[in-house]
Structure 1
Amino acid sequence: MSPARDTITEGSLARPLFTLAWPIVVTELLQVAYNIADTLWLGQLSAAAVAAMSIAFPLIFLFLSIGGGFTVAGSILVAQYTGASSDDSAGEIAGQTLSFVTLLALVIAVVGYLSTGPALSLLPTDPETATDVIPLAEEYMRVFFLGTPFMFGFFVFSALMRGYGDTRTPMRVMFLSVALNVALDPILIFGFEANPLFGVLGMDGLQAALFGATGFAGMGVAGAALATLLARLAAMAVGFYLILRTGIGPTVRLADLRPDPTAIRKIVRIGVPSALEQSTSALAMITLTAMVAAFPTATVAAYGLGNRLISLVFLPAMGLGRATDTMVGQNLGAEKPGRAERAVHLAAGTAAGIMIVVALVALLFAESIVAVFIGERTPEALRTIELGTEYLRVRTVEFAFIGVLQVLLGAYRGAGHTRTALAFSMVALWVGRVPTVYGLAFVADMGATGIWIGMALGNVVGAIAAGLWFLRGTWKQAVVDVRSPPTPRVEAAEADGED
C-alpha cells in the first residue's frame, strides 16, 4: 500500500482529509461548471431558456439518482476492502460495479427518453410557462437522456477511485471534459452566424469571413444538451481506459466484469437505500418545481438560477462529506472506529466554518452575483434578478447547516449505513422543506418569498436531527466482513494461496 493511502488510516487526520477533499471540491466545481456554462449561454437566448433548465433538471436528476446510489455502494465497498488491505476484493467489487451500473444506465437512457413528454405534461404550469418553457425543456431532456450511459460511466469511475483513496485522477479527467463542454456550448447553442462569443471577443469580422456561409444556426437548448453529451462521452472513455488498462485505482481484471450474483447482491443491498435517498431527493425537487411552475416565468427562472448558485456554494460541504465517506470507510475497514469518529468531528467543524464565510460573501454580493447570469435587461429579466437576489440572501441562513449535514451523511454512508443516510435526507426534504414551502407559499400566501424561506429550512432541520443521532455512536460498525472476501472467486483464490 502506498504512503498516500496509509495516511488515511494512520498518522494525522487533517492531512488525508483535506488531501481527499480538495480534489473532490474541484471536481464538483467542474461539474457545476457544466451547468454554469449552459446557464450563462442560455441566458443570452432568453429567460425562458434558463427557466427550461429549471424545469428539466429535477426530472433528469430523478433518473440519474436511480443509478447513482449504486455508484455510492461501489465506493463504500472499495473503501472498506481497501482499508482492510483486501485488494483483490476491492478490484472485484469495482469491476462488478462498472458492469452493473453501465447496464442499468442503458435502461435508464431508454426509459428517460421515452417518458420525457408524459413526465413534463404532468406538471401544473402557469399558461406562460406552458407555452414558452415546457417545449424547450422537452427538447433539452430528449437529447440529454441519449448521453445518460456516458454520464454514468464517469460517475462510477469517479466513485470507485474515491473509495480507493484517489480523488485527483477523476479531477483531471473532469477538467478535460469541462473544457470540451465549454468549447462546444456556444457553437452548438448559437451556431456560427449569430454567435455572441465572437462579439465578446471583438471578432465579428472574422466570424463573418469564416462562418457566414455555413448555414448552421445552432440548436438552442438542445445544443447545450449535446455539448454535455459529447463531453461526458470523452470523460467516460478516458476513465474506463485508466481503470481497466493502467495500474491506477483498484486492479480490475476482465473476469471481474462478468456479473457475479454474490457481489451484485452486496452492491444492491447497500446501493438501494442510496438510490432511494437520491431518488427521494429528486422527487422532492420535482414536487418543489411543480409548485414553482405555478408562478410566472421570472419566478421559475430565479428559482432555477438560485439553485444553480446554491449548488456552487454547496461544493465545500460536498467535498468534505465525500472525503468523510472514504475516511470512515477505510478506517472502519481497518478496525479503527475511534479514528473514524475523530475524522467526522474534524470535517464537520471545518465544513461549518467554511460555509459561514461563504454565507457572508453571498449575503453581501448577492445582486452582483445573480446579475452576471442574465444577459437581457428587459422588465422580465430585471424581475428575475430581483427575485434571484432575494432567494440567494434567504438561503444563506442554512449554509453552515448544509456543511454539517453533508459530513454526517458522509459518515453514515462510509460506514455502509445507507438506510440511516436515507432517513435523514428524507427528514431534511420531506419534513423540513416540501411541506414548509407549500405552507408558506400557498397556504400563508407569501408567494415567492415563502418558497425561498421554506427551501432554507430543510437543511437546518436535517442537520439537527442527524447530529443528535450521530451522538448515539451506533453507526461505527463496518458492513463488510474484512476477514473474508466478498465472492466465491476471491475465496477460491485465497484458498489456493493458503495451500
Structure 2
Amino acid sequence: MSSESSARTNELTEGDLVGPMIALAWPMVVIQLLQVTYNVADTAFLGAVSEDAVGALSLSFPLIFFLISVGGGFTAAGAILVAQYTGAQSGNSADKIAGQTLSFVTILAIGIGIVGYFTTNWMLGLLPADPETEARIIPLAADYMRIYFLGMPFLFGFFVFVSIMRGYGDTRTPMRIMVISVVLNVILDAILIFGLGPFPRLEIEGAAIATITARAVATGFGLYILFWTDAGPNIELEYLIPDLTQIKEIVSLGVPSAIEQSTSSLAFIILTAMVVTFSPAIVAAYGLGNRLISLVFLPAMGLSQAVDTVVGQNLGANRPDRAKKASWLAMGLAAIVMSVITIIMFTFPEPIVRVFLSADTEGAPQTIAYAVEYMQIAAFMFVFMGALQIMLGTFRGAGNTKTAMVFSMITLWVARVPLTYYFVFVLGWAETGIWYAVLLGDVIGFVAALVWYLRGTWATKIIEEEPTPDRSVDTVGSD
C-alpha cells in the first residue's frame, strides 16, 4: 500500500472524525449533484420542447434503472471491500478487488445493454397507460431508452470508477472528472436537442446521445487514472483476469445490494404503472416532482456514501467505536441540512418547479399546479429520508448489505406501493394519494430501520485477511 493511501486511511481511522468525514462527503455531494444534473439538464431542455418529452423521461428512468440496478449492487460491493481492505492495510488486496470489480461489472454492463435494447418495447408495453399517454408519451420514451441502453458500458464504467475511488478514500478525483462530463453533457444537450449549427434537431433522442457521449468521456478519464496514475488503487492488468475466489466475495456482498436496487426500481415501475393511468399532466408532474426530490436527496446521499467508506475503513481497522460515532455524526448533519431544505421547498415550491417546465403549452399550467402540490406534501419526508439513507449507508459500510436491502424493501414494498394503491384506487384520493404515499413510505422505513440500528449489532467487519507484516507504514494506533 502506498504512503499516500496509508495517510488517507489514518485520517479516517484516527483523530477528529467530523473534518475528514466532511472532506470525504462534500465531493460525493457534488458528484451526486452532477449526476442528477445529467437528468436535470435533460429535463430542463426538454421542458422547453414539450411536457410530453418530460413525461417520457419520467416513464423511462424506472425501467432503465431496473436493469442498471442489477449491476449497481456489484459496484457497491467493490466499494465496501476496497474500504475494509484499505482500512486493514492488508497488502495489495484492495488493488486486486478493485480490478476484479472493474472486469466483472464491465461484462455485466455489456449484457445488460443488449437485453435492454431488445426489450424496450416489451417493457413499455407492460405499462397500463392512459390512451392519450400511450399515444403521445410512450413512443418518445422508447426512442430515449434504446439509445441509452447502447451506452450502458460507459455508464457502468464511470460508476465503477467512482465506487473504487470512494472505497479507497479519494472522492475529489471523480468529482473533477464529473465536472468535465456534465459540462460536456449540457453543451451537447443544447446542440442536439434543438439542432444548433449543422446538427439536426433530435429532441429526446439528442438528450440520450448527449448523456452517453459525456459518460464515455468520463469513463475514459477514469480508466486512465486507475491504470496509469498513482491517484487511486494500483490496478495491474493481471488483476482483471477473473479470480473465482474474489468474484465470490463481490457476488456475496453484491447480490443483496443488486436485489435491493432492482426491487426498488421494480417498485418504482409499479408506481409508474399506477401513475400512467392518469392524464399526461399528472404523469409529467410526477416526473418533475421526482427530479426535484432527487436533487433534495443529494446531501443525504453524499453523506451516506461517505459514511459507508468511514464505517468500512474503521471496522477494517478494528475501530467499531469510531464507526458508530461517525454514523451518528452523519445522521445529525443530514437532519440539519434536510430541515433547511424542507422549509425552502415548502415555502417556495412554484418558482422552483417553473425552472424545470418553461414550455408555453396548453398543459403546462396544470402540470405545474400538480407538481407544486406534490412538493409541498413530500417536503415533510425530507428529514426522515436523510436519516434513513445514513442508516442504510452505515449498514452497507459494515458489509450488512442484506440488512440494507430489507429496510429499503420495507420502505417501498411494505409502505409506499400498497399505500399508493390504497389511497388512489380504494379511497379515491386521485393524484393526492400518490403524494401522501411518498411521504409515509419514508417515514415508515425510517422508524423500522432505526429500531434495528439502535441494537448496534451491525458494527463488525466482514474481511478475514490480516494486515501484512511487511507494509511500509506504521500500524494504525488508537486515539
Range of TM-score over shorter length? over 0.9
1:50 has 2:33 as partner = no
Q: Give, as a single letter, the amino acid of the residue that structure 2 aligns with 1:472.
A: R
Contact 1:24 1:322 in 2 (8 A): yes
Q: Give the Cα separation in 2 of the matches to 1:365 and 1:379.
A: 23
Match of 2:426 in 1: 443
In structure 2, what is the Cα distance between the partners aligned to 1:67 and 1:151?
11
**Selected match of 1:278 from 244, 257, 261:** 261
Whether the aligned pair in 1 keeps the contact of 2:78 and 2:250 (CA below 8 Å) is yes
Distance 1:399 1:147 in 2: 33
Asked whether the 8 Å contact 1:333–1:482 carries over to 2, the reply is no
* Contact preservation (8 Å) 1:65, 1:282: yes
Is 1:266 aligned to residue 249 of structure 2? yes
Shift of the alpha carbon at 1:13? 0.8
> Residue 372 of structure 1 is aligned with which of 338, 343, 355?
355
Residue 161 of structure 1 is aligned with which of 165, 169, 190?
165
Deviation at 1:33, TM superposition (A): 0.7
Alignment-derived partner of residue 25 in structure 2: 21
Q: Which residue of 1 aligns with 2:179?
A: 175
CA-to-partner distance for each residue in 1:241-300, whole Å, 9 max, x for gaps?
A: 101111111111111011000000000000000001100110011010000000000000
Matches within 5 A, 1:131-280: 131-192=135-196, 211=197, 214=198, 216-280=199-263
Instruction: State the partner residue of 1:96.
Output: 100
Take 1:354 and 1:311, find their aligned partners in 2: how far apart are those partners? 15
- The residue that corresponds to 1:302 in the other structure is 285
Deviations 1:278-328 (A, max 9, x none): 001100110100000000000000000100000000000001111110010
**d(CA) in 1 for partners of 2:22, 2:279:** 43
* Matched-pair contact (CA < 8 Å) for 1:113–1:146: yes
List per-residue Cα deviations over 1:16-72 (Å, max 9, x = no partner): 110111000000000111011100110111100000000001000001100000000
Determine the C-alpha separation between the residues in 2 that align with 1:378 and 1:179.
Answer: 28
Instruction: State the partner residue of 2:39.
Output: 35
* Alignment check: 8 A CA contact 1:157 1:240 kept: yes
**Out of 35, 59, 63, which is 1:59 matched to?**
63
Residue 398 of structure 2 corresponds to residue 394 of structure 1: no
Taking the aligned partners of 1:350 and 1:306, their CA distance within structure 2 comes to 24
Structure 2 equivalent of residue 423 of structure 1: 406
2:48 partner SS: helix
Counterparts of 1:13 and 1:326 in 2: how far apart (Å)?
12
- Stretch of structure 1 that moved more, 73-82 or 245-254: 245-254
Q: Does 1:340 align with 2:344?
A: no
What is the aligned counterpart of 1:408 among 391, 398, 407?
A: 391
Return the letter of the residue paired with 1:443.
V
The answer (yes or no) to whether the contact 2:85–2:313 under 8 Å persists in 1 is yes
Say whether residues 1:325 and 2:329 are aligned partners.
no
The one-character-per-residue Cα deviations of 1:100-137 (angstroms, maximum 9, x if unpaired) are 00011000000000010000001000011000000000
Pick from 75, 78, 81 the counterpart of residue 74 of structure 1: 78
Offset of 1:378 from its aligned partner? 3.2
Matched AA of 1:383: Q
Q: Answer yes or no: is 1:289 the counterpart of 2:272.
A: yes
- Percent identity among equivalent residues? 55
Q: Which amino acid aligns with 2:356?
A: F
- Structure 1 gaps of 5+ residues are 193-210, 486-490, 495-499
Report if the CA contact (8 A) 1:78-1:163 is conserved: yes
The aligned amino acid for 1:40 is A
Matched-pair contact (CA < 8 Å) for 2:88–2:467:
no
Does structure 2 retain, via aligned residues, the 8 Å contact 1:82–1:90?
Answer: yes
Q: How many residues align?
A: 467
Residues 435-479 of structure 1: CA distance to partner in whole angstroms, max 9, x if unpaired? 111111111110110000001111111111111101111111111
SS of aligned partner of 2:92: helix
Q: 1:375: Cα distance to partner?
A: 1.7
Distance (Å, rounded) in 2 between the aligned partners of 1:87 and 1:267? 18
Helix, strand or coil: the match of 1:188?
A: helix
Q: CA deviation at 1:379?
A: 3.5
Contact 1:53–1:137 (CA<8 Å) still a contact in 2? yes
Take 1:244 and 1:98, find their aligned partners in 2: how far apart are those partners?
12
Task: State how far apart, in whole Å, the 1-side matches of 2:376 and 2:51 are.
Answer: 21
Aligned pair 1:110/2:114, yes or no?
A: yes
In the alignment, residue 366 of structure 2 is paired with which amino acid?
Answer: R
Give the ranges of 4+ consecutive aligned residues of structure 1 lying more than 6 Å apart after TM superposition.
none
Distance 1:484 1:168 in 2: 27
2:257, 2:268 → 1: CA distance? Answer: 17
Q: Which amino acid aligns with 2:49?
A: L
- 1:482 and 1:341 map into 2 onto residues whose CA distance is 22
How far is 1:484 from its partner? 7.0
